[in-house]
Structure 1
């Protein structure tokens, strides 16, 4: 990995979720003190949702100005709005409905009952990303000159959370499928996902890697092989997790079981 990365091992799933929550609260506070607002990209999965729940239960979350946090999603299942499979619904129940967010800053991927088809869902979310980026550039003269050169067109992501599948997929970018190969656009539609439900909307790897910091959060022995391959620098088409590299930092936040195949020299342990 060419960019700054760190592997941190936690003794259990619960400690991993609680520590990641505390880390995210601190990062949001730091960014807000610098820029007034902050942007985070959320993920689903057991650890991702447990982390959001821990944020809401932490007294420290009251220090964040949640009305000035922008929320995006790394991926979501293209199913009906009220489906329990929706990452957004799980995130809303765990945290977003519990804090004073600005609804205009919560950017939800379209559900199957809100647009005509998957292609429209992809186009709509890409347009939303582009509009946010252009507004950001307009308000920041130092970045406005980038507008004509940046592809895909996306806003600044301060922290982008990723889960990890046993097959090393991230977001809804699966090994050897079209999504992980897609370039030059911000969002991709996924059909025939090997993990149900089969139809999804996902940020592309280029979009993911535009984030200032990427945090890959994984727990469980079934993730250990994927973690090992990801940290070994395997080809991203076969091992999507290996291609996730933040602009400033990439953190691998693991429980003890998921870290089982990581060389000790790479690992910082939180007790």
Structure 2
């Protein structure tokens, strides 16, 4: 049975630092009993700020990064290196440094295929989603997805997580990945894990900051309808953490 815990920090800066420390501790805890570790990263202001806090932490040096695999919950379907891609921002904030200085193999960074015609790229969101599903299956014991140890998600002011938006057809997508068209938040084309894939994670952490998130955070924590508050379906197999700053938690009853 999954448990849910809400943790509130004073502001967004402390939230990011605390989430980074919690993430590193979790990786070390898992590595004390088994390897590899599978982490799913998120983009967004707080998500990238958390990765930057990991980069700044001395605790990261205690991690055996050769045994860590990194995935994404969603990606903007843009050319490789585009500054709006979650991968690009994560590399700038953390991953390139881990590769160059901390022993993270480039092969352990599992980016969603970018838009393009070159090797490892895709022409459509559907093709990128299919290729990503195949990559996930290659690292799964049962041909589905890895049992992610931690899956990080941001939440938008509309209550969306990954690229699963309110009232959008992708909410009910089958399988493990989905190509998204007509996103209400630019760019309109994206690739996302489905709720089925998100639910494969041992732990799901929803990290959100800002007063503009407060109403939807409260609605999700009150188990509102998924069509209006997709974040309500962001549930881990064993634990779900809501990591909020005081502003994002301000509408809770």
> Which bin holds the TM-score, normalised by the shorter protein?
over 0.9
Q: Which residue of 1 aligns with 2:67?
A: 68
Q: Which residue of 2 aligns with 1:156?
A: 147
* Off by >2 Å, runs of 4+ in structure 1: none
Post-superposition offset of 1:37: 2.2
The superposition leaves residues 173-223 of structure 1 with CA deviations (integer Å, 9 ceiling, x where unpaired) of 00111111112x000000010000000000001100110000000000000
Q: Distance in 2 between matches of 1:255 and 1:19?
A: 11
Q: Which residue of 1 aligns with 2:40?
A: 41
Instruction: Report 1:138-157 matches (<5 A).
Output: 147=142, 153-157=144-148
Select the residue among 105, 108, 111 that pairs with 2:108. 105
Is 1:241 matched with 2:248? Answer: no
Q: Distance in 2 between matches of 1:155 and 1:38?
A: 10
Is 1:174 matched with 2:181? Answer: no
Post-superposition offset of 1:262: 1.7
Q: Unmatched 5+ residue regions in structure 2?
A: none
Post-superposition offset of 1:3: 2.5
Alpha-carbon contact 1:205-1:244 (below 8 Å) kept: yes
Instruction: Report 1:116-265 matches (<5 A).
Output: 116-133=123-140, 137=141, 147=142, 153-183=144-174, 185-263=175-253
Task: Give the TM-score taking structure 1 as reference length.
Answer: 0.88
Q: Distance in 1 between matches of 2:83 and 2:16?
A: 21
Q: Secondary structure at the match of 1:34?
A: coil
Q: Secondary structure at the match of 2:145?
A: coil
Q: Unmatched 5+ residue regions in structure 1?
A: 138-146, 264-271
Alpha-carbon contact 1:181-1:237 (below 8 Å) kept: no
Post-superposition offset of 1:103: 1.2
Post-superposition offset of 1:224: 0.2
Q: Distance in 1 between matches of 2:163 and 2:110?
A: 17
Alpha-carbon contact 1:74-1:162 (below 8 Å) kept: yes
Task: Give the TM-score taking structure 2 as reference length.
Answer: 0.95
Q: Secondary structure at the match of 2:71?
A: strand
Q: Secondary structure at the match of 2:217?
A: helix
Q: How many residues align?
A: 245
